[in-house]
Amino acid sequence: MKALVAIKRVIDPYVKIRVKADGSGVETTNVKMAINPFCEIAIEEAMRLKEAGIVTEVVLVSLGDAIVQETLRAGLALGADRAVHIETDVSPEPLTVAKTLAELCQREAPGVVILGKQSIDGDNNQTGQMLSALLSWPQATFASTITISEQTATVTREIDGGLETLSVDLPAVITTDLRLNQPRYASLPNIMKAKSKPLQTLTLSELGIDAKQHTMVEVIEPPPTRQAGVMVESVSELVDKLRNEAQVLS
């Protein structure tokens, strides 16, 4: 069985985000980038399935400009077998990503597609669900445990009321939650091996995908600066301020 894992290049989660002066977006120049944390979990789960003998090949895919190949190489260093780079200069919407992955699934014929449940930049949480609909494959989102046997995947997923266990036929689309696993670190030998692993480059036009934008971001603004706290001399002064100045209590 082949596992297709979609990953995304995002700003490192430990870097402080800065909005561009013109409000057109988030500053990415000279900013540390990394694999989306949920995507790292997806890679790790695919590698565990391969180590268990369930998956025979792990294929990574990512959309973006040429710099995305660095992210794919980082994923290959975690143990994936090969990668596919879908080159595009525009920032693709979730629907475009889903259509691209659907076309790639037709070519690669994976037994399972594993994605992070969302990216930490857009937080859209849409691609996996859209991909499932386009392929007419079953889906299991927010997975906290995954068990695959023969042609069935049993997935425990996190919902508002607790945990829900689903059984879905393969091929299927599975999205990962934080508690699914703890991603491994890339070893030095694997980092060196990743440099020579196959990395194919395709374009959206080669896949017959139109990167039409359906939404437009008008402006991005940083959150308002938090006001400094005020020291009070007594409990009575605190109560007085809460009664007369705190808008949330008015």
Domains and CATH numbers, the chain: 2-249 (3.40.50.620)
* Cβ–Cβ under 8 Å, residues 61 and 110: no
SS3 content of the chain, % helix, strand, coil (to 5): 30, 30, 45
Beta bridge partners of 6: 61, 115
Residue 250 confidence (pLDDT): 45
pTM: 0.86
Residue 144, token pair as written in the block: 């906290």
Measuring CA to CA, which residue among 196, 190, 179 is closest to residue 145? Answer: 179
Pair of tokens at residue 96: 């475009």
Q: What is the pLDDT along the chain (250 residues), one digit of tens a residue?
A: 999 999 999 999 998 888 888 887 888 888 899 999 999 999 999 999 999 999 999 999 999 999 999 999 999 999 999 999 999 988 889 999 999 999 999 999 999 999 999 999 888 899 999 999 999 999 999 999 999 988 999 999 988 888 999 999 999 999 999 999 999 999 999 999 999 999 999 999 999 998 888 888 888 888 888 888 888 889 988 888 888 875 544 4
Burial 51-88 (b: 16+ CB within 10 A, else e): eeebbebbbbbbbbeeebbebbbbbbbbbbbebbbbbb
Q: What's the confidence (pLDDT) of residue 28? A: 84
CA–CA separation, 236 and 9 (whole Å): 52
User: Which residues is 115 bridged to in the sheet?
Assistant: 6, 175
Contact 102, 131 (CB under 8 A): yes
* Predicted local distance difference test score (pLDDT) of residue 198: 96
Q: Closest by alpha carbon to 148, among 55, 41, 40? A: 55
Q: What residues does 82 pair with on adjacent strands?
A: 59
Q: From residue 92, how far is each of 63, 89, 99, 109, 215 by CA, in Å?
A: 8, 9, 11, 23, 11
pLDDT of residue 246: 59
Question: How many angstroms separate the CA atoms of 57 and 142, rounded?
Answer: 23
Q: Distance from first CA to last CA of the chain, Å, rounded? A: 61
Residue keyed to tokens 């260093």: 77
- Residue 108 exposed, middle or buried by CB count within 10 Å (0-12, 13-18, 19+): middle
pLDDT at 247: 55
**Residues 204, 99: Cα–Cα separation, whole Å:** 10
